[in-house]
Copies of this chain bind each other. A is one copy, B any other.
């Protein structure tokens, strides 16, 4: 494990159990302009730079229909983060906070989440705004933002039964 920082005053580390409860597959890789922790924005912004998300085989076919969404939720593995801090002091004031009261990358399961604006998809690459992670960050999931589930994707046809699991999309009508 590579620690992203040494431990600071009043921070507390524990000896965590071996992480053997479940296992992840990296399904892609995220490309951003940031190559060092100090360069990354604190939070992604919808007007931030366009970054690309590359999807690996055999998952590319699972992108079908993603182009209909304006906003996606992205889950990624914070591969440079230590996992053993329970109290952290990330700011400049020396205040100490529980890990679950922070969105710091340092956590027992270092998974980051972001809501991104989808600009376009070309083959196995998505072009998005709103990320804040390091270049090369492994991708673990991609799904429509939950806020998008209000707008239906297709005009209901006469006689259609209500379909509670229908997909939802970019425009209410086409």
Contacts and interface: CB of A to CB of B under 8 A. Distances in A.
Interface of A: 12, 14-27, 42-43, 55, 58-59, 61-66, 68-69, 72-73, 75, 77, 79, 83, 86-87, 90-93, 95-104, 107-109, 111, 113, 115, 138, 140-144, 146, 149, 160-161, 163-167
Contacts of A22: 23-24, 26, 77, 79, 138, 140
A87 B62 contact: yes
Given A20-B25, A22-B26, A92-B165, 8 more contacts: A12-B61, A20-B23, A22-B138, A65-B97, A91-B165, A107-B143, A111-B140, A113-B146
Given A12-B61, A19-B24, A20-B23, A143 B103 contact: yes
Contacts of A65: 97-98, 101
Nearest to A22: B24
Contacts of A23: 18-24
A100 B149 contact: no
Contact of A87 (B24, B64, B68): B64
Contacts of A18: 23, 25
Give the most central of A61, A90, A99, A142: most B CB within 10 Å: A99
